[in-house]
Amino acid sequence: MHQSFDPETRALFLAQNLHLSPTLEYFGQIYSSRQESEEVTLEGLISASWERKASDPRDHIYALLGLVTPSSNKLFDADYSKSTSWAYQKAMLYITESRQNLDYLISAAKQGLPREPSWCVDFSRKKQLTYIESSWFQRRYGTNEGGAATGRETCQLLHDIDQSTLTLKGTIVGTVKLITLFAPPTTSKYCGPAAVNALIDKISSLKQLIYDSWASRLGQRIATSKVYAGDIWKLAANGQPGEVLFDEFSDIKDPYTLVAELGDMDAEDVLDGKYTCSDDHFNDIWKVITAITQGSSGLGAFVTGTGYAGSGYVSLQEGDVVVVIFGCRMPLVLRPMDGGMYALVDAVYVDGIMRGEILADEATYIETEFVLR
């Protein structure tokens, strides 16, 4: 006898037995969650359905509302008399309030410009959102749970849906002064003398830029120690701890310190054959550099006028403002606009503030209000 299934049960069966798309699998899991009284969130539904199409872009949100588990955070209603921007702003605010932090701004920033408004995720884009979750963040940056905003409670938001603005509070880290690409001239696994020579030239200019920035804030002695500890290479790897980036090189100890040695090598010595790929030590250096540069496409170093150095993507411009927003784990980059407002550009790694250091003493920073549009 033919057995019939309700749609959710059928989706779960197909996903588990036919290994179909993650979206279908997730919607099957919704059925299980409901059976076990587990919460189904709007954020989770959006993450699962990012690859789906909708003839009306508002349905990237509205089609999911009926599946969300009721909670103390009142869900908004679908309203087709309102614009797509209205629907997306409502979803953004609902998710932020449900999270009780501002980390979803990172997901918006990582989509890249343009977005309208800039602080809001464009839910119609066929690109998976950067997932910001506490354990991921701590592993990814080797930092504590609160990240750069450690020490301050999440600020209250002021949302003007008619003007598409979001007002929040934080502090300014500094203004972007100089930007340079990280990626060396080659990522080849073959470390011939010419490639190494070009790499050394690149490292020398990069090292001087970042060293000068650190020295202006910390003094020459501390700046020098940071260079020799390989902190510049940690910037090139967008802040990843060595043990995270170099799992495959478990035999190499202190990889960032190791590659820092390359900056002290003399190009003439390389061309004369003093350092070759047959040398195990140098070969380890090259393997680590290759691992870094393969993931640094489009990534650049920037320094601020206040002596901080960080890494972000080439969408950054001189004059952009690096800020810490109270309630957001990562520093954000804002671009000044007319009328004293800002556009959200990127979420970045900044050396020396990822554990809340800049907020450790209230006397050392100025609380500032930012209006994003």
At residue 114, the pLDDT reads 84
Rg (CA), the chain: 24
- pLDDT < 70 positions in the chain: 1-38, 127-135, 182-204, 242-255, 258-283, 286-287, 289-297, 314
pTM value is 0.83
Residue 167 tokens read as 């007002």
Task: Identify whether the C-beta of residue 111 lies closer than 8 Å to the C-beta of residue 121.
Answer: yes
Task: Look up the domain containing 194 and give its range.
Answer: 183-297
Query: Does 280 reside within a domain?
Result: yes
Q: How would you write the chain as a 3-class SS string?
A: CCCCCCHHHHHHHHHHHHCCCHHHHHHHHHHHHHHCCCCCCHHHHHHHCCCCCCCCCCHHHHCCHHHCCCCCCCCCCCCCCCCHHHHHHHHHHHHHHHHCCCCHHHHHHCCCCCCCCCCCCCCCCCCCCCCCCHHHHHHHHCCCCCHHHCCCCCCCCEEECCCCEEEEEEEEEEEEEEEEECCCCCCCCCCCHHHHHHHHHHHHHHHHHHHHHHHHHHCHHHHHHHHHCCHHHHHHCCCCCHHHHCHHHCCCCCHHHHHHHHHHCCHHHHHCCCCCCCCHHHHHHHHHHHHHHHCCCCEEEEEECCCCEEEEECCCCCCCEEEEECCCCCCEEEEECHHHCEEEEEECEECCCCCCHHHCCHHHCCCEEEEEC
Task: Identify whether the C-beta of residue 350 lies closer than 8 Å to the C-beta of residue 148.
Answer: yes
Cis peptide before 57 (omega within 30 of 0): no
Among residues 119, 90, 117, 115, the alpha carbon closest in space to that of 104 is found at 119
Query: Does 338 reside within a domain?
Result: no
Query: Does 282 reside within a domain?
Result: yes
Among residues 114, 106, 235, the alpha carbon closest in space to that of 179 is found at 235
Query: Does 165 reside within a domain?
Result: no
Residue 92 tokens read as 């953004």
Query: Does 353 reside within a domain?
Result: no
The pLDDT tens digits of the residues spanning 296-320 come to 667 788 999 999 999 887 688 999 9
Number of domains in the chain: 1
At residue 35, the pLDDT reads 57
At residue 151, the pLDDT reads 85
At residue 363, the pLDDT reads 83
First to last CA, the chain: 60
Query: Does 352 reside within a domain?
Result: no
Query: Does 211 reside within a domain?
Result: yes
Query: Does 273 reside within a domain?
Result: yes
At residue 8, the pLDDT reads 47
**Measured in whole angstroms, how far is the alpha carbon of residue 151 from the centre of its chain?**
21
| Gap between the Cα atoms of 373 and 359, Å rounded | 25
